[in-house]
Amino acid sequence: MSLITVSGYGLLAAFIFYTLSFFGFFIALAGSKFSKRDPKEHKQRWAKIGYSLSVVGFAGHLVYFVARWVYGGHIPVSNMYEYMTFFSLTIAFAFLVFYLLFRSPLLGLFCTPLAMIMIAYAAVFPKDVQPLIPGLQSKWLMIHVTTAALGEAFFAIGFVAGVMYLLKTINFQSKQKSDVRQQRGVEFTLFVILMVVVFAGSVFTFNSFGYQAQFVKKTVNVVGSETSVSEEKINYVLPPIVKPYQSELVKSDSFLGLKKPLFTAPAWMEGVNAGRKLNTIIWTILFSAIIYLLLRLVLRRSLGSAIHPILKDIDEQDLDEISYRTIAIGFPIFTLGALIFAMIWAAQAWGRFWGWDPKETWALITWLFYAAYLHLRLSRGWHGLKSAWLSVIGFLLVMFTLVGVNLLLSGLHSYAGV
């Protein structure tokens, strides 16, 4: 059995055991009503099972990581598939550490799905192990990317605790304007999480069924008195609602009667893949809206109000403390990885410390936001609800830097989305 096969089995095992761990924590919290055991004993027993399963999942995740590293000859963080699987690994690590400190099954109930979502999101990208491009052949690849991902993982745990705090403390029955704004904010956050899940699920589903659409873009190149025509092929995984600018349809499988694009991407969207990215965003929003409305119809209430009763026995002060501590730990690690180490590597690779590349810019915005969070927390006493909202917004910035920048913008870090 080759190392790459071992690596694949390791990641699959990680996903399976994270899923089983989630159900273990769920039974710990919800199953006491149907158990003849003492509720406290039942909760502790299944929480231990859930945590043990997550440890096994983490071990499988490490097998994936080490086997792929040995097989490829370099640390597997050089593209979006590798980075997101490593990001999931660091989230699992941060969860395992903080669970030992707070012993909260609810933390497992929310963190294990986050690790699973990141693995599922990674699965939509090419999995082939490829040699590093010249720009990535540096020891700073490991130093910069691993520390940045670890810092973001602690932000992820802070986000989870912040979301739980909001779901616990917001009054979902109130009709007052301030409460309604809070309710809408939570629903939007849950909808964004749903969009990430739907994006991964939709691309994976269409890939599994072998859906394909292809466009070709011809470009006339004039060099002196010579004229040549070059062709670029653009492959779609999702049905083409929008086609790339100045391109022609070569092939498109029919989906729900949709055989050809409805419109063309605007001219200002630069890059051969801009139309495909816009198409992906449109389908993600459309599918997410449909699933969200179906969930609302089934539950007959908002998602936030449906989750709210699960958190009735949790101490919101613990959630507030978890959120603050994780961000306080993650911030200096993120500072080193995403800014300082990144600038040192940029100076060596590109001859400048800073160039306002989209990824660099949004990493700086994220850093400034978390710096403001810590300042407001420590000097202005922003605890509780305000602190929770900042932890949620901060991680949404992290996800936009990881996902949104690759989908919407192009720059020197675009190789990561290929």
The 3-state DSSP class for residue 225 equals coil
Residue 320 domain-assigned (yes or no): yes
User: Where do we find the tokens 């945590």?
Assistant: 51
**Within this chain, do residues 221 and 204 fall inside the same structural domain, yes or no?**
no
pLDDT at site 139: 83
Farthest-apart Cα atoms in the chain, separation: 87
Q: Are 79 and 200 members of one domain? A: yes
* 316 plus 396 within the same structural domain: yes
301 plus 375 within the same structural domain: yes
184, amino acid identity: R
Instruction: Identify whether residues 184 and 35 lie together within a single domain.
Output: yes
User: How much is the average pLDDT of 321-337?
Assistant: 93
What does the DSSP assignment read for 247-268? -EEEEE--BTTB-S-SEEPPTT
Residue 40 included in any domain: yes
Instruction: Judge contact between 346 and 135, C-beta under 8 A.
Output: no
Q: Containing domain of residue 55, as a range?
A: 3-208+293-417
Q: Do 112 and 190 share a domain, yes or no?
A: yes
Rounded (10°) CA dihedral 76, 238, 360, 127 = 10
pLDDT digits (tens, 9 = 90+) for 247-265: 888 888 888 788 788 888 8
Phi, psi of 32 (to 5 degrees): -65, -25
Domain-located, residue 281: no
Burial class (CB in 10 A: 0-12, 13-18, 19+), 227: exposed
Q: Is residue 192 pLDDT above 70, yes or no?
A: yes
Predicted confidence at residue 278, as pLDDT, reads 84
Span 25-50, average pLDDT: 78
Contacts of 305 by beta carbon, 8 Å cutoff, 6+ apart: 172, 173, 183
The residues that bridge with 230 in the sheet, in sequence order, are 219
Sign of the alpha-carbon dihedral angle for 34, 36, 37, 40: positive
- In this structure, are 318 and 175 located in the same domain? yes
Is residue 88 one of the residues assigned to a domain? yes
Domain count, the chain: 2
The answer to pTM > 0.75 is yes
Task: Assess whether 60 and 154 both reside in one domain.
Answer: yes
In this prediction, residues 314-323 reach a mean pLDDT of: 87
Tokens read off for 97: 């550490």
Query: Residues for the chain: how many in total?
Result: 418
- Which SS3 state, helix, strand or coil, does residue 219 take? strand
